[in-house]
Amino acid sequence: MEPTSAIETAKHVLALFGIILAAGSGFGLIAQKLRIPDVAVFLLVGMLLGPEILGLVNLRADSALNQIILIFGSSYILFDGGASLRLKVLKEVWISVVLLATIGVLVTAMVTAVAARYLLDIPFIVALLLAATIASTDPATLVPVFRQIKIRDRVAQTVMSESAFNDAIAAILTFAVLGVAMGTGEFSWFGALSDLLQQTILGIVAGAVLGVLAAMLIAHEKLGFLREYAPLVSLMAVVGAYLGADGLQASGFMAVFVFGIVLGNKGVFGFEMEADEQQKLEDYVTTTALIMRMFIFILLGAQVDFGLIQQYLSGGVTVVVVFMLLARPLTVFLCTLPDRRAKWSFREMLFMCWTRETGVIPAALAGMLLGIGAPGAKLIASVTFIAILMTILIQATSTRWLARRLGLLVNEEMS
C-alpha cells in the first residue's frame, strides 16, 4: 500500500506542476500582450484555480512542498534582482536604501499600527503585530515588475534593494512584538538592533564570499573550469548562500541578493565571460525566474481564504488604504529627503511612494502567526491578504502608467 500511496502523491504533485506551468505560460503571454506585470495576472489565476473556485490547485500553505517553493523561488528571484543591479548606481543611492530598509520599516509599522488600533478597534500590541507583518516590501513582486518595465535605473535599483534588505528588520520586528504579545518576552531596542546588525553583516559576508567563489569558478581565466556549467553553479550557489546564511543565524534572502550583486558585477572584480556564455547564463536565469514567479504567485492566489478576508473586509481595506496612501509616502519622504547626495526629484519620490507591493514574506509571516495561535492571528492574516491583493492588483498593474506620466520610463517605445 505504501508504494501505491507514494506513487499517487507523486502523480498529484506532477499534475499540480503541469497545471501551474500550463496556466502560467498561457496567462503570462496575455499579461505580455496587455503590458501589465505578470505577477498580478498569476495571482488572479491562482485565485481562479484555487480550492474556493475551480479546485484545480490545492496545496496547503504549511506543507513542506509549498515552503520549498516559497523559499527557493523567492531566493532565486532575489538573486536575479541582485544580478541586475550595478554597483555604480548603488554608490549614488546607498544612503536612501539603508534608511528605507531600516528606519522606513519602523515608520511604516508605527503609522499603520496607529491606524489599525482605531480603525479595527483592537489592542495596540495586536495592531503593532499586524503592522510589523506587512511592513516590508516584496522583492518577489518588485524584481519581476522592474524586469518587465524599464524604469530609470537609480529609482528601480533603490526600490529593489530596499525590498531585499528590509525583510530582515521586518522579521526581527515581528518576532520581537510577537514575544511581547504572547507574554514570552520584552521588547528591547538594543537586542533588536544587535540582532539586525548580526544578520546583516553575516548575510552580506556569506553572499559576497559565495559570489566571488562562483565568479571565479565560471569566469576566471585559469581557475574557471566550470564556465560551461555556469547555470548549474549559479543554481547551487543560490541554495548554498541561503542555507549557509541561515545556518549562521543571518538573513538568507540578504545573502542571495548580495550573491546576485557580486555575480552580476563580476567584471568589476576582474572576472569576464565570453559573450555567448554570458548570454546562455542570462537566458537560463531569466527562464528559471519566470517559472519561480508562476509557482509563487499562482500558489499564493490559490491559498487566499475568501471567508477569512470577508470577516474583516471593510476595516482591513481602510487600514490598507492608510498603509498605501499615508504610511508609505511619509516613509519615502522622511528617508529620501535627507539624502542630499542622491538629489531625488519630486517625481522620483512620488513614484517610490506608490511602488511598495506586499507579497511572499508577509504572507509567510501571517501563516506562521496563524500556526502558533498568536493574538489576533486571524485578523492579521485577513488584513495581510487584503494588503497583498490590493498592492499587487492596484499598484503593480499601474506601475507602467505612473512611470510614463512621471517621465521615468527609460524607453518610451517599450511602453
pLDDT digits (tens, 9 = 90+) for 309-320: 888 899 999 999
- Give, as one character, the DSSP assignment of residue 272: -
Q: Model confidence over 224-276: pLDDT tens digits?
A: 677 778 888 888 888 888 888 888 877 787 888 888 888 888 877 777 777 77
DSSP track, 104-130: HHHHHHHHHHHHHHHHTT--HHHHHHH
User: For the chain, how many helices (H) and strands (E)?
Assistant: 19, 0
Task: Give, in order, the Cα–Cα distances in Å from 6 to each of 1, 37, 64.
Answer: 9, 37, 15
Q: What is the pLDDT of residue 413?
A: 41
Strand, helix or coil for residue 187: coil
CB 95 within 8 A of CB 307: no
What is the rounded distance in angstroms from the CA atom of residue 32 to the CA atom of residue 294? 14
Where b means 16+ CB within 10 Å and e means fewer, 140-175 reads: bbbbbbbbbbbbbbbbbbbbbbbbbbbbbbbbbbbb
What is the rounded distance in angstroms from the CA atom of residue 372 to the CA atom of residue 393? 29
Domain count, the chain: 1
Q: What are phi and psi of 280, to 5 degrees?
A: -65, -40
> Which position has the grid cell 512611470?
403
What is the rounded distance in angstroms from the CA atom of residue 103 to the CA atom of residue 157? 18
Would you say residue 412 has pLDDT above 60? Answer: no
Q: Give the angle 159-409-146 at the CA atoms, nearest 5°.
A: 40
Domain interval for residue 176: 2-414
> What does the block give as the cell for 65?
512542498
What is the rounded distance in angstroms from the CA atom of residue 216 to the CA atom of residue 74? 25
**Which of these, 187, 199, 3, 222, lies nearest to 101 by C-alpha position?**
199
Per-residue pLDDT, averaged over 396-410, amounts to 91
Binning pLDDT at 50, 70 and 90, where does residue 185 land? low
Would you say residue 147 has pLDDT above 60? Answer: yes
**243: Cβ contacts below 8 Å, ≥ 6 apart:** 252
Q: Model confidence over 280-302: pLDDT tens digits?
A: 888 888 888 889 889 988 988 88
Query: Dihedral of the CA atoms 293, 295, 298, 300 (nearest 10)?
Result: -90
Q: Which is more confident, 356 or 277?
A: 356
What is the rounded distance in angstroms from the CA atom of residue 56 to the CA atom of residue 17? 11
**340: Cβ contacts below 8 Å, ≥ 6 apart:** none
Task: Give, in order, the Cα–Cα distances in Å from 153 to each of 79, 161, 163, 348.
Answer: 18, 12, 15, 11
> Which position has the grid cell 487600514?
319
Q: Model confidence over 363-391: pLDDT tens digits?
A: 878 877 877 788 888 899 889 989 988 99
Q: Within 10 A of 193 (CB to CB), how many other CB atoms are there?
A: 13
Q: Within 10 A of 15 (CB to CB), how many other CB atoms are there?
A: 12
Q: Model confidence over 50-106: pLDDT tens digits?
A: 988 898 988 887 788 888 888 888 888 888 878 877 888 888 888 999 899 889 999
Q: Give the angle 53-54-55 at the CA atoms, nearest 5°.
A: 100
Strand, helix or coil for residue 327: helix
- Domain CATH for 240: 1.20.1530.20
What is the rounded distance in angstroms from the CA atom of residue 252 to the CA atom of residue 260? 12
